[in-house]
């Protein structure tokens, strides 16, 4: 099983290859230093392609973090409603 990080890069621009970000299908169009996370999936929950894993609030705008791969959410490193720094690993999926 491989472990896949859920993270957002520091400078986010539209990308044609969704694998440029580990688990972000619809890239944000902003530069940011921190954001707030709101989990939509629980640890142990199966994640399917295009599932919304979490919402992130950055500079008063909310963005959906959408899965680009299937797996199981095994870890949430940033608690729900907490602030995270740019490039932080938010959590992990495993593929089986």
Question: Is residue 19 pLDDT above 50, yes or no?
Answer: no
Residue with tokens 């957002």: 8
User: If you average pLDDT over every residue of the chain, what do you get?
Assistant: 78
d(CA 96, CA 90): 20
Task: List the chain domain ranges.
Answer: 2-95
Report the pLDDT averaged over residues 7-11.
60
Write out pLDDT tens, residues 35-65. 899 999 999 999 998 888 998 888 888 888 8
37 to 2, 10, 27: CA distances (angstroms): 24, 15, 16
pTM of the model: 0.78
Kindly report the CATH number that applies to the domain delimited by 2-95. Answer: 2.40.50.100
């Amino acid at each position: 099983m491989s472990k896949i990080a859920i993270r957002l890069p520091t400078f986010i621009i539209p990308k044609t290859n969704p694998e440029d970000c580990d688990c972000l299908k619809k890239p944000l169009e902003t530069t940011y230093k921190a954001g707030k996370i709101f989990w939509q999936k629980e640890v142990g929950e199966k994640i399917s392609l295009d599932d919304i894993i979490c919402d992130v609030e950055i500079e008063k705008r909310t963005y959906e973090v959408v899965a680009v791969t299937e797996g199981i959410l095994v870890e949430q490193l940033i608690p729900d409603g907490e602030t995270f720094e740019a490039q932080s690993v938010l959590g992990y999926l495993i593929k089986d």
